[in-house]
Each structure stands twice: as C-alpha cells, then as structure tokens.
Structure 1
Amino acid sequence: MAKKAKRASKRPETHLVENFKKLEVSSQAVLLLELGKLYEKAKTTRLGLLKAEMDEITGSKKKGVKKTRVKPAAKYRSKKDKKLTWSGRGSTPRWMKEEMKALKLKPDAFLLKNPK
C-alpha cells in the first residue's frame, strides 16, 4: 500500500525528466531546441489570445479604422525663401536661426499673418 501512495505523489513530468537523463547529450540538445521552438509558439499564441481578450474587454481596438495624424499648419515662413516654413514645434530650424542672425530679426518677424 505504501508503494502506491508514493507513486501517486509523483508529478507527471517526472518520467519525462528521467527519460531525458537517459538520452545522449546530442539528442538532449536537439530535444531542447525543439522544445524551445514549441514553447515560443505556444507563448506567442497565448499572448495573442490575451491581447484580443483585453481589447474586447477595454474596447480599445477598433478593426478597420486607422488613425492618421494631420500635419501641423505652418506658423512661420522664411523671408528669403517662401517655401521654407515651420510649425513652431520642435527646435528652431537652421534657416530661421541664420536669417535671424543675418537680418537681426526676432522670431515674431517670421510669423504668418493668418496661419491655416
């Protein structure tokens, strides 16, 4: 009776570990590579399912709708080259710095009267 109780308490993975120990090192390496691939595939599948479930719960993902950003309107224009514009976001462009220094102007001098 004591032997049956001992067998029942063994974890199901134990026989796999025992068989793995019996293999040659080269066979163990191949098996580990294959198990790694299977694990990554299962993990990716599970992650996809969890993300889909989270999106369903939160309602954050709407299929087929892609949001695009609108390019910011220009607020400043070059005095020398009218093609050069700047939205006022980010660092001051090189052309503006050079013109401010050469013409001794302030940034307000480049402001567009009615930006679009």
Structure 2
Amino acid sequence: MTVDIKNLNHTQLTELISKAQIRQDELRKEKVGKLREKVLALIKAEGYAFEDIFGGGTRGTPKRRGSTGTVAPKYRNPANPEQTWSGRGKRPHWFNDALKTGKKEKDLAI
C-alpha cells in the first residue's frame, strides 16, 4: 500500500501519523510477545523454570534492591525523646527548630 503524502492536508497527515504510531506500537508488542514465548520455551526445554534463571518474585517486575522497609532512627528530639527522625525525607519541625536555636546535627544524633 502506497500513500502519496504530498496530496494530504495537515489533518489527514496528522491522522496518518497517529495511526502509523499506533500500528508500530502494536507490532512491537506482538514481537515482544513472540520473543517472550520463545525465551520461555527455551527455558522449559532446558529443564528450568523462569525463576531459576531470572530469580524469584513476580514475572516481569524487577525486585527492588535495598528496600528494607523502615530505617533506624538517626536523630532524637532532646525535648521529647519519643520523636525521632531517620535522616531521610523532609526534616521534621522539631529538627529545624533545634537547628535554629543553635544546636548542631551531631548534638541531635542518637
């Protein structure tokens, strides 16, 4: 199929480009699907499971490295020892207030 793009107006050309991009995405997804099937078939033919080759967890979602959940507190509020901060994220108000009064970070460290 040949399309003479010189005879298309702006709207027709934009529509053609949009349709071409959609088709390109469809073809890419089909190709990736076929490749995935080939890889899984090869793994199975060799007597292994997907998890044996690429690790455990859910297929297609990479494991996050280093995410351990909570982080141990690094700083403690001298006025209220129950208030702590890990040193990550936005500084708590008590931490900023202590710095404004002249304390240093090392003074608040646990």
**TM-score w.r.t. length of structure 1:** 0.45
Flag the structure with larger Rg: 1
Structure number with greater CO (CA < 8 Å, separation at least 6) is 1
**TM-score w.r.t. length of structure 2:** 0.47
Structure whose residues are more often helix by fraction: 1
